[in-house]
Amino acid sequence: MTFGHVTVATDGAARAGVLRTAHGAVETPVFMPVGTAGTVKAMTADQVRSTGAGIVLGNTYHLMLRPGADRVERLGGLHRFMDWPGPILTDSGGFQVMSLSGLRKMDEGGVTFRSHLDGTQHRLTPEVATGLQHQLDSTITMVLDECTPFPATHDQARTSMELSMRWAARSRAAFVARPGYAQFGIVQGGVYPDLRARSLEALLAIGFEGYAVGGLAVGEGQGTMLGVLDATVPLLPGDRPRYLMGVGTPDDLVAAVQRGVDMFDCVMPTRAGRTARAYTSRGVLNMRNARHMDDGGPVDPACGCTACTRHSRAYLHHLFRAKEILGPMLLTQHNVTYYQSLMRGLRGAILGGGLVDHAAGVRAAWAAGDSV
């Protein structure tokens, strides 16, 4: 099985395609639920599959600390370990390590850091990060990079980007190529289009199976983020998958799909599910709100998840007010289901040549708000 992305239809800059991997095919555009530590929080693997998700994301930083890549490898790899035979993309762990601030020290070789769990010292380099992902049996391996902080001056962003490009070359040299597996390079450069272009030029010279846009949704605002995408995405190779890392809200997804992005991940739907926020076809609801207390209707009448087909808003409200764990479980399943439904709708609109009208309709429904 050769790894690759085939575009089957376009509508403007947007693309509908198929991502073919050693662990199965996935239709794009696609949202990947985040399974940071080998699980999508509050969901079984069967529940994740029931939402329509075909690929999930794991995180090297968390898995290397607990339970350890050696242990996962001995137990048959991450696919077997978490009951997910489909494709898995793993973040290199760079973002998490860079977020440790006082607990890490970066140099040309890599990053030395102390675990947030027990304070033990570890060393993450491009070679180590790539090797750990190999042990996990990641379908898609990400290069180690430095996520440029925001705000950053042009010089700061340039220095950061150039280090990431040197790390990308080392990550690629450490990658063990095999049929159906891939490694993605990550375009950096902050909010500066010229640096983004230089970053991509360096990555293209190295050569990767796919390309990600990193370092966004870190505080720059949606308008700036979309401006960076407008300048960057058209430069990405048309025959390779395009991945926007860590994004985002449903509106972010619609806007990015319209600009030609194929793949997304974000903790937002699962995190929101644990804090009583429901993403719906009519916008965002707070299930703790007293107006749901006596409401016998579903969270979203347009949704087919368990929370919506078998339970009421009143029940979800009760669960969260009573601090019952079932509340976060049901609402997380709903949110992930909604994200998958949103992506299916966008794909169908691209295939039918009606994306502009479809996106306008989705946004109009959000703006109209909840009718209850």
Spatial distance between the Cα atoms of 231 and 258, rounded to a whole number of angstroms: 14
Give the list of residues 6+ apart from residue 200 with CB closer than 8 angstroms, or none. 187, 211, 232, 235, 236
CA neighbours closer than 13 Å in the CB half-sphere of residue 368: 12
Q: Which of 91, 137, 145, 300 is catalytic?
A: 91
User: Could you say which DSSP state residue 20 is in?
Assistant: E
Angle at 317 between CA 315 and CA 321, to 5 degrees: 115
Instruction: Find the Cα–Cα–Cα–Cα dihedral 244, 345, 85, 266, rounded to 10°.
Output: 30
Selected residue with higher pLDDT from 96 and 52: 52
Spatial distance between the Cα atoms of 74 and 77, rounded to a whole number of angstroms: 7
Q: What is the DSSP string of 244-277?
A: ETTB--HHHHHHHHHTT--EEE-SHHHHHHHTTE
Is the bond preceding residue 29 a cis peptide, omega within 30 degrees? yes
Report the DSSP beta bridge partners of residue 4. 20
Q: What is the DSSP string of 145-212?
A: -----SS--HHHHHHHHHHHHHHHHHHHHH----TT-EEEEEE--TT-HHHHHHHHHHHHHH--SEEE
Spatial distance between the Cα atoms of 187 and 210, rounded to a whole number of angstroms: 11
Contact 117, 106 (CB under 8 A): no
3-state SS assignment for residue 114:
strand
Question: What are the structure tokens assigned to 230, written together?
Answer: 């407008």
Please confirm, yes or no, whether 265 is among the known catalytic residues.
Answer: yes
Question: What are the structure tokens assigned to 44, written together?
Answer: 């079984």
Spatial distance between the Cα atoms of 347 and 342, rounded to a whole number of angstroms: 9
Residue 19 has pLDDT above 90, yes or no: yes
Q: What is the DSSP string of 219-244?
A: SS-HHHHHHHHHHHGGGS-TTS-EEE
Contacts 24+ apart (CB under 8 A), 300-305: 300/334, 300/338, 302/341, 303/334, 303/337, 303/338, 303/341, 304/337, 305/50, 305/51, 305/333, 305/334, 305/337, 305/338
| Predicted local distance difference test score (pLDDT) of residue 277 | 98
First CA to last CA distance, the chain: 50
Residue 30 has pLDDT above 60, yes or no: yes
**pLDDT tens digits, one per residue of 57-93:** 999 999 999 999 999 999 999 999 999 999 999 999 8
**pLDDT tens digits, one per residue of 100-138:** 777 789 999 999 989 889 999 999 999 999 999 999 999
**pLDDT tens digits, one per residue of 228-279:** 999 999 999 999 999 999 999 999 999 999 999 999 999 999 999 999 999 9
* pLDDT average, residue stretch 298-323: 98
Contact 115, 63 (CB under 8 A): no
| Predicted local distance difference test score (pLDDT) of residue 99 | 81
| Predicted local distance difference test score (pLDDT) of residue 372 | 47
* pLDDT average, residue stretch 303-323: 98
| Predicted local distance difference test score (pLDDT) of residue 371 | 61
Spatial distance between the Cα atoms of 126 and 230, rounded to a whole number of angstroms: 29
Least confident of 54-63, 89-98, 211-220: 89-98
Spatial distance between the Cα atoms of 59 and 49, rounded to a whole number of angstroms: 19
* pLDDT average, residue stretch 186-208: 98
The CATH number fitting domain 4-266, selected from 3.40.50.720, 2.30.30.100, 3.40.1000.10, 3.20.20.105: 3.20.20.105
| Predicted local distance difference test score (pLDDT) of residue 100 | 78
Q: Which of 11, 252, 262, 265 is catalytic?
A: 265
pLDDT band at 96 (very low <50, low <70, confident <90, very high): confident
| Predicted local distance difference test score (pLDDT) of residue 278 | 98
For the chain, give every domain's residue range: 4-266, 273-368
Please confirm, yes or no, whether 137 is among the known catalytic residues.
Answer: no
pTM of the model: 0.97
Question: What are the structure tokens assigned to 241, written together?
Answer: 């998958």
CA neighbours closer than 13 Å in the CB half-sphere of residue 54: 16
Spatial distance between the Cα atoms of 94 and 160, rounded to a whole number of angstroms: 13
| Predicted local distance difference test score (pLDDT) of residue 94 | 84
